[in-house]
Every structure is written in structure tokens, then in C-alpha cells.
Structure 1
Amino acid sequence: MSQIIDTVNRYAGMIDWSAFNTWYARYLEKYTNTKGKRITIGVAIALTLVCRSIYRRTTPPKNLRHIPHITFWDSINHFMVQKFPTSDTFKTLHRPLLNAKESMYLRWDRNGWVVHVAHPEAVKQVFMKSDIFPKMDESRFAGTLFARFVGSSNILFLNGHEWKKHRKLANPAFHRSMPVKLFGESARDLYAMLDKDNEGSNFTLDFGRLMERYTLDVIGRAGFGFNFNSVTDENSEWKKVYDEVTVSFRKPLFILFPILDQKFRWLFPTRLQEYRNLNKFMDMLRGVIDHKRRVLKESIGNGDDAEKDLLTLMLESENRGEGILTDDELMGDLGIFFIAGHDTTAFALSAAIYYLAKHPEIQEKARQEVTSILCPNGEEKRDVLPTAEQTKEFVYLNQIIKEALRINGSVVSLVTPRHTAADVTLNNVFIPKDTLVNVNIYDLHHNPNVWDDPETFNPDRFAAGAEADQKAGGGMSWVPFSNLAEQRVVLSTLLRHYTWNLPENSPHSKEIITGNTLIMFAKNLQVQFHKRF
């Protein structure tokens, strides 16, 4: 009811009541001399205002109509009604609007009407000119489930001084922490579990779900020193809680209409339970932070920085006087680290495994490279975990990872759109001040005006001097979003332990089938594995 009253008051403030009274006395008063007539006219005016509001929300603003747009109803149909995979939406709605010169279009989403850019030069401007393209203020989404997870003050959403405060602590931690040993030990636990649970030399499993379990353990240990034990225990309590939380983030109705979270969640009993699950998870994180603070007062500086978790490194920097964050700010950063280190890496690994399954010749070439580096004296039938230095020698494997991130990257577009702080021109297209602009990474990577034969998986395009290198000077044509070091460790050890392929009649035979939310995920990606030793 309060929302209705606010809407009425907002429109009432826009009306020139003096002019309205004159008009009413001259033309309408004689027709409203009974209560019934006044009610009828009042309802008609209310409906007119509602229709006007709907029209304004579903029609591009006048100052942006020179940009090609996707209709409001097409957006709703693809995302919420039909729930088409991202690739289908791209081919049907986006690709036809990506001309060679501008490669941009207008589309409605939860933020309103947003300009999506998919041209390397425009992408570079949006990323590099933060004074003209500052991040959108996310505070208006306060009260939603996702906002409660990442908070409003985190390293991803902030601008200017506040962003630098977070970055000052996080950046050194990222540079010092490269837990290759942890990645390898987690991978070894994974293979031990697979061998235990699958008798014989062949088995089939949902690889996407497996990677979600593995990467959750890794981000727990690498991020803040907590082991979810989801690899060794599929029924791990915290794994179940986190799964329920991530599924709740993907619900289209609440993504597109955040007001349902903010004002009307009491109408959705399952949503209330999802908030309780998130609160339980957040309480666990707070407990970890409190414990870390107590321990570090007595043990600052001990141990190998490269293998320390990010939270420990950030708190150590704080104790050295390099900056300070509140617990809520740390919680927000941990939420972002979860998304960046778990969901994105799980899909990146799934996509790489998928393309290696589809291209056995590429898989074998990568296996030979890995074996030559890890076992230079000949193939040995034993576990060999790569060192940090050895992962840098995986030239061809690195090309595979980069190409997988291009053709099926982990993130569809920027999590936080930018807004124009002044009138600006992008690729000769005028964009007025206070316009939302987003880099659409999926469109950029599949833009036929940017990449040759973009729907074909071809790691050679990332070879030295090849297509990717040739494009490097012309803006930003490749925008990865994942942990490459972790992928090198997992893929190199997988190549040593197994060969794999897609089952017959796989629904993924033509292309990987994904969801359509901001963070990509594979739908029931069954893969057949064959033990090598």
C-alpha cells in the first residue's frame, strides 16, 4: 500500500493543480455532478496514469532512441518466460544489432534501460575512463538477497576513495597469495574421491556439479581458511547451505523485479526461507572473521605468504597499519571473492573440459605438453602435482584456457554497470549524461566483427603472434574473468589422470547448454571419464 501511495504522491507532484482546476471547471464539472460519475472518472484517470507509467518503463527514453534496442517484452520473454540459454538470446536478439561500426544496443533489465557495448574501443573507454564511466550506485538494491550477501561497501561496487581503501588491502593480498600447492592438494583429494566412488576404469558424472564442489573447497581454504569438505562429503552441511544460497540468486523473477525482495518477500514463503539460509551462511563467515582476528594478534607474519588465505593476508596488512575495514566491509569483500573464486571458476573449468571432450585431438596435444613438463624423463604412472613455475610453462594449455574463456566465459556482462558522468561519444554514437552503460562480455567475445569465426573453438588464435595478439593493440577484445592459475593446476592433473568424452546423444553435442543469469553455469553436463592409471 505504501508503494501505491508513493506512486500517487509522485504523480500528484507533477500536476499543475491551478491549471487543472481551471480546465476541470470549464469542461468536466458538469459531467461529475454525481458520486457514480466522479468514481468512474477517477478510475479512468488512475488507469491512464498506470498505463503511462507502464509505457514509460517499457519504451526506451527519447534521448536514447537513436540506438538500436531490444524490446522490453522480448527481454522478459527470453530471460524469465522461456528462460533461453545465453547463447540462444545472443543469436536471436543481440547478434543482429552488432554492426561493424558501433556494436552497441539498448536493452531493459533490472537497472532500467542500459546501453550494452561490445566493441573493443568502446569497452576500453568504459573500463579505463572511470571518471566518465563511474560504477552505478548499487544502494537502491539494498534489501535484496544478493545485496545482503555482498553488502553495499565492497571492492566491486565502490568508486574513488572508498574503492581505493578496499583495494589497498586486497591488492597486495592477491599479489602475494598464489596457493598452487593448495590447488594441487585439493585436486588430489578430488581424484581420490572419484576413484573411491567409481569402481572400474570408466565412469560418467555431472562435471559441472563436481567442479562446484571442488571450487567451493578451494575458495573456502584459499579465501579465508575454512574447509567446506564438499569434495569428500557430498552431503556437507555448509555445501548444502551454500548451494541453496546460490540457487536463490538465480531466480529470474527476483532478479528483474528487486522490489519483490525489498517490499513483498512476505508474499513468498520460500523466499523467506532463502533469507534464513543466507543469514546462517553469513553468521558462519562472521565467526571466521572474529576467529582470524583473535589468532592473528598472536601470530602475525608467520608462514608462507603465497599459501596464506586472502582474509589472513588482508587482516595482516590491516594490523601493519596499511588500512582498515569494518567487519561488514570485509564480509562484502568475502562475498565478492566467493563469486569470483567459486561460481566463475567452476564454470570456466566445466567449459574447458567440455571443449576438450569435443576435440580429442586438442585434448591429446595438451596431455603431451603437460606430461613433457611434469615428467621430463618419460611418462610416469603416478601423481605429479605442478609447481607454480611449471604452470607457467603450459603454453598450449594456457591457449586452451583462454579460448574457453572467450567462447564461454564465466560472466555474461559486468556485474555493476557504469553510468555516464557527462555527455560522451562512444564509437561515434552520442550517449547523454546519466545513461547506464554495460560491457557485454559474451557479446564482445562472440562479435563476428571482432573475432574470426567466433563460434568455433580454436586455441591457436591465442598462440604467439596469432589473432589475439594482433587484436591486442585495438582496444579490449578479450575480457577474461576467472582464476587462470587454478585452472592450470586442475586441468594439467586431470589430463594426467584421465581421458574423457561426451556420452552418446549428449544434449550438449552441438554447444554447451547454460543458464541465462549473469554468472554462467552448465546444465547437467554429463562427461564420461576413463582412468589412465
Structure 2
Amino acid sequence: MAYIYIIYSLILYVLFKIIKIISTYFLISPELYKIPSLPLIISIKLNVGNYLLGVPFVTNIRNFLLEPLEETGIVKYFDILWQRWIIFVAEPKLLKEINLRSDLFQKIDASNRPMSDCEFAYIGRKNILFENKEEHLRHRRIANPSFHHIWPTELFGDIIKELFKELDKDFKVNNTINIQDMTQSFTLEALGKAAFDYNFGAVQKSHTELIKAHNETMRGISNMNYVMFPVLEKIPGFKRTHLFHNIKILNNVILNIINKRKQKQQTLENNNNNINLTSMNNSDDNYIKNNIVLTSKISEKHNDLLSYMLKAEADETNLKKRLSTEELLNDLKVFLIAGHDSTAAAISAAIHYLGKNPECQKKVREEVISIIGDKKDDVIPTLEQIKEMKYINMVINETLRIHPPAPALNARIAQKDTKLGEYVILKGQMIIPNIYALHHSKKIWGDEPYKFKPERFEKETLKSSYNFIPFGGGVRICIGMNFSLAEQRVFLAMFVKKYQWTIPKETIHNDKIEVNKTYLSLLVPRNLYATFKRRY
């Protein structure tokens, strides 16, 4: 009987969805009708690819959206998951309006966002990624101090040195390796260290069960079948019990880190109070100085995101503006997910393009050597030296143009009837800023938008326009932008000094980098290989 009930419920669910989709498709407002549409057959192919075949979103952009967005800068299509018309935008002036008028074009409310049980179990709805208005500002206010300080190059450099040791072992067996596996190990370790002073063991390939749990969770969250058909989670044979077990492991690891850090913080505060009371009654100046030095050392032990966030929490006098432990936990996991995969993809793409363009690789190496020397040693560049490396910045920017971390920004919802350029946008309309189409527009970048040409960014003014927005724009610009760029600069500077490399002739990435289906549609390369040779 239970199976019959489940099948009956599934049939009713599908029929209801079909009726709703058909009625919404044909009942279209005059204002929306004026916005250019994708042909019906193309919309069907786009939906089937996105939600049923597991085609990466960027592949569908390349196949179906680039040409119409190149022509009009704005186009709509009907989305079967959202069961509504969605407008894609890739015109710089329109994108600027959307980003700068964030009060009018807000992210879709978290409660209305389709989400699988798996995704909800891991990051929930109350986090910095999904919240809006005052709730988003509350999360951002606590997180801002964490990201708006200067990251020491040693944070990344020490991990890169460990990575070099592991690569030496690998190269004894095979010097052609998967670039993305290597960079993901580095960025996961770097973010673990920077976020909460935790060693994931990704570079040394220890803690393999934890890494496996993380990777399986990411694959589970990106499976759109469970978003389209949530009932699958309740059907024997489709239940993902092991996946939820992995999520529990990951949640417990980070929650334990938070709780232990809070306990240490409380102990430190108590010690400080005791020291202050003692010093008031002690005339020995040396005793006071020694205790102040001791306290200073204790308080400076942790300089990671979590410590800054906990300090911001403690300094917030309005209790309503503080984050709960659950919200803090969710934010840290968002930083971990979005931060390490996106930066790893960017570094992998840069290595790929430098491998395909040896003249650019040579130019980067010459710049690095001219600044930090060619001593046969793994030198970590200083902040001052990094600032001198202009060509590396051009390489990073050109990589982010061709291969942005995410192909589109999160959907925005119009809060009232308004105009966007020449078009009228009605309240409740969903809009998605399309970064990938913007970055590959022939009107902006010329007839060869896929050509790797770092010299495009010799003019700094280009970055200030809305022709180039790899991290978004406005008040919702990616909070981890500076952290990611710092990682990329140090990694490429040390890597290009240590190795030279080429791309194998037999590759699926001849024209464009092919990617996996991922959570948040991040552009994570698929089977991206390079052949390396040590320089010293």
C-alpha cells in the first residue's frame, strides 16, 4: 500500500506541475511580452539540459544564450524548475543598474528558493548567501572584519611549500597530473587554515575520510533531480542515507571548532579580567608588563575568519544583530564551499592558459624572477613584491574574464514595477545577471573573446566598468574577492618560479575549458591535465 500511495502522490504532483507550467507559460503580461524570448524548442533544450541531463549550466549558456544575448543584451525563457519566466541580462548598462539598485533588485527570498533536503541539511536558508535586506546586512556586518584585513603571504606560501613536497612524490611516478585535484587540495587547506585554523590534510592526503565526505556532499547538493523531485528522498532505493551521514560529520567538525574557540575566547576574557584585577593591586611593574605581553600573545594566537567573526559578535552591543551559532556555522560552510572551489577553478584555468600560451608563461616567470630572484629555493614573495607583479594581475584578470568562478549571479527579484533600460519590469519578475555572456561579448572584447590575451588588462580603467564583473558588483559583491585574489597571486608567483609546464595534445579543452556539473554552477574544470618539469 505504501508504494501505491507514493506512486499515486508522484503522479498527482507531476500533473499539478504540468498544469501550472502550461498556464504560466501562456498567461504572459504585455510588458514581459516585449522582452525578446528564446524560441520554444531552445527553451525546452535548455531546461532538459539543466535539470534532467545534468548538463553544466555554462555549457547551456554557450549553446543557447550567447548569440541572443550578444544581439539584444537581454532575453527571457521559461524555466520549469522555477515555473516562471526568467530574464537573462548581459548588457553592461543594465547590469550596472541591477547591481547598484540592490534595494529594488533583491536576491530571491530564501524561503522561496527551490532546495533539496541535502542542501538544507548542510547550509540551511539562514546564511550570508541567501539572506536579504537587514538580515543580509547583519551577516555581512559580522563577516566584513574577517575579510577586510591584509592576509600575510606566508599563510598561502607555507601551504604551497607543502604542496611542492607532495608534487615531488607524485612526479616520481608521473609528471602529468590533474590540475584541478592539485589546486582544490591547496585552496581547501588554505581556506581551512584561514577560516578556522583547521588542517584538513588535503595537501598531505591525510584525513581522507573527511575530504571524501566533503566531496560527496558537494556532489549530492549539485544533483538537481532531488530539487526537481523532492519526493525521491523518501523512496527506498533513492534515499541518500550515507550522504546525510557525511553532512552530519562535516557539521560536527566545524561546530566543534566553533564551540572550542568560544570556550577559549571566554577563558581569555576571564584571564584578562583576572590580570587587570591583579595588576591594580600589584606595584611590581615587571609583573604587569609580563602579564600584558602574555595576554597579547594569547589574543593574537588566532587571526582567522572565525576569530574575527567571534570578536565582531562580542563587540556587537545590539543582541538582535548578533548571529546564532547555527547562522555562524552556515556562513562558515558557505565560505568553505564557494571559496575553495571557485579559487581552485580560477588557478587551474590560469595554469591551463599559461600552458597553452608558453609566451605568456615565460613573461610571467621573467616578471617573478626579476622581483624575487632566481635562487633555487621556494621563496615566498612579500606583500610589497606581489604588488610589483603587474603581469600576473593581467593573467588573473584575463583568466577570470574567460573563465569566471560562476557563470551567472544569483537570481534577483524586482521589488516593484520599474524600468530597466527601455523595458518595463513588473514586481516579482526574476532576473539573472549573466557574467559569462558579458565576458564573451564580441561587442566588448572583439571577434576573439575566447583568445587568452592578458594585455587586454593593461588599462586599469577596464576593471572599473561593468564590462568585467567576475565577483559581481554593488553591495553584494563577493565578500571573499580580496582573499581569493591574494591566494591566486601568491600561488602563481611561486608555482611559475618552481615549474614550467605544457598541456597534453590529447585534451577535451582545445577551444574551451569543459566543466563538471557543480553546486552554484561554479566552473570547476573536468579532467584538466598538464605536464610539469621542475626548474630546480
Range of TM-score over shorter length: 0.7 to 0.9
Change (3 A) 1:7 1:325: farther
User: Aligned residue for 1:509?
Assistant: 510
Structure 1: distance between partners of 2:93 and 2:327: 34
Q: Could you tell me how far apart the structure 2 residues matched to 1:401 and 1:304 are?
A: 35
Judge conservation of contact 2:70–2:437 (CA < 8 Å) in 1. no
SS in 2 for 1:104: strand
Change (3 A) 1:306 1:502: farther
Note if 1:462 corresponds to 2:457: yes
Distance 1:396 1:304 in 2: 38
1:136 maps to a residue whose letter is I
1:66 paired to 2:34: yes
Alignment counterpart, residue 132 of structure 1, candidates 74, 79, 104 = 104
* 2:391 aligned with 1:380: no
Cα gap change, 1:143/1:504 in structure 2, threshold over 3 Å: closer, same or farther? Answer: closer
Deviations 1:381-426 (A, max 9, x none): 1111012222222110001001101101111212x31100111222
Once the two structures are overlaid, the 10-residue window that deviates more, 212-221 or 449-458, is 449-458
State the secondary structure of the residue aligned to 2:524: coil
What is the aligned counterpart of 2:399 among 393, 401, 404? Answer: 404
From 248, 255, 260, the equivalent of 1:286 is: 255
Structure 1 residue 325: deviation in Å? Answer: 1.2
Counterpart mapping for 1:79-478 below 5 A:
79-108=50-79, 110-112=81-83, 113-140=85-112, 141=114, 144-176=117-149, 178-199=151-172, 203-233=175-205, 236-255=208-227, 257=228, 259-260=230-231, 264-269=233-238, 271-299=240-268, 302=297, 308-321=303-316, 324-375=322-373, 379-414=374-409, 416-452=410-446, 453-464=448-459, 469-470=461-462, 472-473=464-465, 475-478=466-469
Q: State the SS of the aligned residue for 1:522.
A: coil
CA contact (8 A) 2:74 2:87 kept: no
Residues in 2 aligned to 1:275 and 1:267: alpha-carbon distance in whole angstroms: 15
Change (3 A) 1:494 1:260: farther
Structure 1 segments unaligned to the other structure (5+ residues): 11-45
CA contact (8 A) 1:103 1:117 kept: yes
Task: Answer whether contact 2:88 2:432 (CA < 8 A) is retained.
Answer: yes
The Cα offsets for residues 145-172 of structure 1, whole Å up to 9 and x where unpaired, read as 2233222221221222212211111111
* Greater Cα radius of gyration, structure 1 or 2: 1
Q: Whole-Å Cα distance in 2 between the matches of residues 408 and 59 of structure 1?
A: 36
State whether residues 76 and 87 of structure 2, in contact with CA within 8 Å, keep that contact through their aligned partners in structure 1.
Answer: yes
Q: What per-residue deviation string (whole Å, max 9, x for no partner) do you get for residues 158-212 of structure 1?
A: 2222122111111111112524211111111000111123228x70111111111
2:532 corresponds to 1:529 = yes
Distance in 2 of aligned mates of 1:195 and 1:143: 41
1:96-117 superposed Cα distances (whole Å, 9 cap, x missing partner): 2114454333351633432111
Cα distance change, pair 6–231 in 1 and its aligned pair in 2 (3 A): closer
SS of 1:125's equivalent in the other structure is helix
| Alpha-carbon distance in 1 for matches of 2:300, 2:435 | 33
Bigger mean CA deviation after superposition, 296-305 or 243-252: 296-305
Q: What is the alpha-carbon distance in structure 1 between the residues aligned to residue 211 and residue 153 of structure 2?
A: 23
Whole-angstrom CA distance in 2 between matches of 1:60 and 1:401: 46
Separation in 1, partners of 2:27, 2:358:
47
> Partners of 1:422 and 1:6 in 2: how far apart?
36
* Distance in 2, Cα, partners of 1:317 & 1:455: 43
Closer, same or farther: CA 306–337 of 1 in aligned 2, 3 Å: farther
- Cα drift, residue 516 of structure 1: 4.3
RMSD after superposition: 2.9
**SS, match of residue 506 in structure 1:** coil
For 2:459 and 2:353, the matched residues in 1 are separated by 21
TM-score in terms of structure 2 length:
0.83
**1:271 shift after superposition:** 2.2
Deviates more, 1:86-95 or 1:309-318: 86-95
- 1:519 correspondence with 2:528: no
The answer to whether the 8 A contact 2:350-2:396 is kept is yes
- State the partner residue of 2:293: none
